[in-house]
Amino acid sequence: MHRHPRPRHQPRHARPSDAHRWWALVVIALAQLMVVLDATIVNIALPSAQRDLHMSDANRQWVITAYTLAFGGLLLLGGRIADLAGRKRTFVIGLVGFAAASAFGGAATSSGLLFGARALQGAFAAVLAPSALSLLTTTFTDPRERGKAFGIYGALAGSGSAIGLLLGGLLTEYLDWRWCLYVNVPIAAVAVLGASALLRERPGHAGVRLDVPGAVLGCGGLVAVVYGFSEAQPRGWTDALVLALFAAGAAMLAAFVWWQTRAPVPLLPLHVLRERNRAGCFLTMLLAVIGMFGLFLFMTYYLQEILGYSPLRAGLAFLPLTAAIVAGSTQISARLLPHVAPRALMVPGMLLAAGGLLLLTRLTVASRYTTEVLPALLLMGLGMGLTFMPVFATATAGVAARDAGVTSATVNTAQQVGGSIGTALLNTVAISSSTAYITAHLRAETDRARVVPEGVVHGYTVAIWWAAAVMLLAGLAAGLMVTARAPRHATAAEAVREPAAP
């Protein structure tokens, strides 16, 4: 009888190759996890950092917005750089730069140095994230393996916020807030060694052109607008500098749009935005994250400064929010999206999130976590989970192969920019409302111990009202603009999807 020895030997040759690819996935996911968790790890450390570096209440938000602004504003350019210089090289440069910026931030002796380090972190994250996603796509070409790889990658990236909150609490409580930045150095070092050994270099495309004017106009306009929001509290909304910043930001963003119609290789091809469903998804994401990032900032201070939670306990208090986001996304949206229209998930999701925020408007200095904070966090998380998954899926559905990368990057840009604007705007609203309340109610110095905490909480609740209104606007945008049908009932062309960046 003729024997076939090949099946016996084939697995032996396949195993090293498989192991090589899956270890490469670990390296790629580790880098993405570092980028994602850094958006939240400093939240828990922020009260300690503010006291240590003597930041004002108006300026504290720059610890968050400097990172998200640079990340979101330069993300599209970062993708082009990866195409030009090669994905592995860009990946390693991003890791080294991110680690150096983290070390610089951890050693910061003033608030300005910390803000600068956070902006550098965001800039290198904008280079690192697109190259990581590209490496994942080119490493796993088999459809079955690719699906599994993207599932693992998405799970790690999706859990980054929870890991960041928990790790931030542990490091701040048992070491120092500076370790929330220093921790990136050993993580990046491991990822660099792994990338050097496991990832294959693919040469860049010499013909790729960088739209530097577009990046300067877009990022500069966003910085001017966010800076205007932050200066509105100490100076007033009608101050000449504040109005000049808003005017300059609007002019630069308008110039950015004009330039994208003229640039030889535009940073953001405007035809990506012209499709109604895609534009609706971008707007929904932008508005939804405005409310969400404000919530993180206020609840961090409320739990630690008003309720007296330790940094670790505050980090643990946020975990139900993250668990609800994951459950809403994976157990509800992912199961229902093939059968229902995307807006049938997005609109209820935004209504649930707005309902959670409205519960938080009832906070007082004596509120209890289990009865008044926890239900709101669960509603908020469930609503965001219902919304995020269909936003990513619908925004990237039916996109031409040449536009898949820029479309995914644009969704992430909307996410980061929304976080920047939301943190700056709502922080200004909260401080202005707190100041007005304290001024109106403080009769004597003996009242300060009572009135000041009440004023601070009052400012938070006013800002949360604004956040709830923005969430309702996000639901309205989804309901009116996202008219796509359920994927199972769509045409074959509409059903084509490229993997979206988590």
Q: What angle do CA 415, 97, 148 make, to 5 degrees?
A: 55
* pLDDT class of 480 with cuts at 50, 70, 90: very high
pLDDT tens by residue, 276-329:
888 898 899 899 988 887 777 888 889 998 999 998 898 899 889 888 888 888
CA distance 128 to 71: 10
CA distances, 354 to each of 108, 376, 379, 433, 468 (Å):
37, 9, 9, 21, 5
pLDDT higher than threshold 90 for residue 473: yes
Give the end-to-end CA distance of the chain in Å, rounded to a whole number.
53
* pLDDT class of 144 with cuts at 50, 70, 90: low
Supply the pTM of this predicted model. 0.80
pLDDT tens by residue, 177-205:
999 999 999 989 988 888 887 777 666 55
Q: For residue 159, report the phi and psi dihedrals to the nearest 5 degrees.
A: -85, 0
CA distance 252 to 324: 39
DSSP letter at 107 equals T
Per cent of the chain over pLDDT 90 is 26
Q: What is the mean pLDDT of the chain?
A: 81
Average pLDDT for residues 63-79, to the nearest whole number? 84
Q: Which of 424, 470, 464 is nearest to 284 (CA)?
A: 470
Average pLDDT for residues 229-233, to the nearest whole number? 80
Other beta carbons within 10 Å of 402: 8
pLDDT higher than threshold 60 for residue 496: no
pLDDT higher than threshold 90 for residue 61: no
Residue recorded with tokens 């309205």: 476
Per cent of the chain over pLDDT 70 is 84
What is the model's pLDDT at position 151?
63
CA distances, 406 to each of 29, 79, 387 (Å):
20, 8, 21
Asked if residue 281 lies in contact with residue 394, where contact means CB atoms within 8 angstroms, the answer is: yes
Residue recorded with tokens 């199972």: 488
Both structure tokens of 443: 């009769």
